Every structure is written in C-alpha cells, then in structure tokens.
Amino acid sequence: EPEVTQTPSHQVTQMGQEVILRCVPISNHLYFYWYRQILGQKVEFLVSFYNNEISEKSEIFDDQFSVERPDGSNFTLKIRSTKLEDSAMYFCASSGGGGGGRLVSEQFFGPGTRLTVL
Amino acid sequence: QKEVEQDPGPLSVPEGAIVSLNCTYSNSAFQYFMWYRQYSRKGPELLMYTYSSGNKEDGRFTAQVDKSSKYISLFIRDSQPSDSATYLCATGANSKLTFGKGITLSVRP
C-alpha cells in the first residue's frame, strides 16, 4: 500500500533558526496537508494545499510558516524563525485522486517529524 | 464549546471484550467522520471513514454516526492486545480535519 513519507524523523534546532520539514505524499494524490501535535495534546490542522495554492489555513499558520510543492513529488513546510512553542510532532497528510473508491476527504498521514526547538 | 470532544481515558479491557469509544461534535456543518488509530510516537492511521448517519462495518470494527445527536462511536469486537493504541475521532467539512483528544486503549491478554 502506498504511504506518505516524511524526513527527517527528528529535527533539533535552535530558537530563531529556520527549518524545512519534508514530505513525499502518496503519488497520485492531489490534496496535501500539514498538522501538528504538541506532546499530550490534540492533532491540530495547520494548512491544506491544492493546485499549487493554500486552500485553507488555521490561526496557527501565521507569517512564520510557509508551504511549497517544489516539484512533482515533494511537499514542504518551512518555519522561518522557530520558537520554543513550535516544538511538536508535525504530520504531513495527503488525499484525493487515488482511485479505488477513496474520497478526497480520506486523509492519509505520514509518520511525522519530531521538531525540538532549544 | 469544544468542536470535538472525546470520552477521556485511559481504558483497559480484557482480551475478547467489546470496546465502545465515543465522541461528540458541535458543528452541524461537519460532513464526514473518521476514526484513526495512533501508536506511540507514530502517525495517525486511518481506520474507518463514513459520511452518513448509520453504521459502517469493517471486520471487527464498526463505526456509528448519529448526526441528529452529533454523536460518533467506534465499536471493536473481540478486542486483541494488538488493538492497544490511542484512538482518535476526527470530523470535517472541507479540507480541515478537527480531531478529538484521543483515548488510549489497553487490551490485557
């Protein structure tokens, strides 16, 4: 079964540094997402992306965050100047266009990148 | 009122028990309903998906949605130790999924 992959699995950075989290969505999916989960808390929506533009974003997704699909396979989340409170597990998800009866709204998650900001 | 509330845990049951996991939601606009399973420090794994009121069965798992009372449930029959994980309900209307906090289930051999 195709899977969403994410790299790195763990990223440690200093406060104020830029980080880029990378994802390879399922190959024929058309919709891409980022979520985050702070330890012990709910999974929270950050942003959705379709047709090379953001389709929806949450209040968390402020000017420090950006997303990009630089080529036909990768989907990235950039945090420009990391803060201590950005420490969390970041999940990429994808959906749609897979055929086999799957609907656009069935989102499949990657294993996550654990971001630690010191 | 929180958008999605999930019964607090943790929950511990003996092997073979029937497990009932429940969530309520507040937004009538939510159109689709999912259950995810999450093992420690892993990504959520999609277990069940439905977009209408009623029951949907897949093996030992049954998802139930009652839109009139905004209530969603997951039943696990003949629970196994391998079912031990955190179960997350999620719902949404457009591209955004809203999750419950999750309940940790432990199935004792």
How confident is the model over A48-93, as pLDDT tens digits?
Answer: 999 899 999 999 999 999 999 988 789 999 999 999 999 999 999 9
- In Å, how far is B101's CA from the nearest CA of chain A? 5
CA distances from B97 to A43, A46, A107, B22, B78 (A): 9, 10, 9, 17, 29
Which of residues B23 and A103 earns the better pLDDT score? B23
Confidence band for A11, pLDDT divided at 50, 70 and 90: very high
Question: In chain B, which residues touch A (CB < 8 A)?
Answer: 31-32, 34, 36, 41-46, 49, 51, 88, 90, 92, 94-102
Contact yes or no for A103 and B36 at CB 8 A = no
pLDDT above 70 for A29: yes
Q: Where are the beta strands (DSSP E) in A38-82?
A: 43-50, 53-57, 65-68, 75-79
Chain A residues within an 8 Å CB radius of B104: none
Q: Distance between CA B95 and CA A47 in Å, rounded?
A: 9
Q: How confident is the model at residue A97 (pLDDT cuts 50, 70, 90)?
A: low
Low-confidence ranges of chain B (pLDDT < 70): 1
Question: B100 vs A42: CB contact, 8 Å cut-off?
Answer: yes
Q: What is the CA radius of gyration of chain A?
A: 14
Q: Tell me, yes or no, if A3 comes closer than 8 A to chain B by beta carbon.
A: no
Contact A47, A53 (CB under 8 A): no
Instruction: Output the pLDDT for position A98.
Output: 47
The residue in chain B having the minimum alpha-carbon distance to the alpha carbon of residue A40 is B101
Query: Å from B1 to nearest chain A CA?
Result: 15
With an 8 Å Cβ cutoff, is A30 touching chain B?
A: no
* CB under 8 A, 24+ apart: contacts of B65-71: B65/B33, B69/B24, B70/B24, B70/B25, B70/B26, B70/B28, B71/B22, B71/B23, B71/B24
Token pair, residue B73, equals 């449930």
Which of chain A's residues have a Cβ under 8 Å away from the Cβ of B51? 103, 105
Cβ density class B13-32: b for 16+ within 10 Å, e for less: beeebebebbbbbeeeebeb
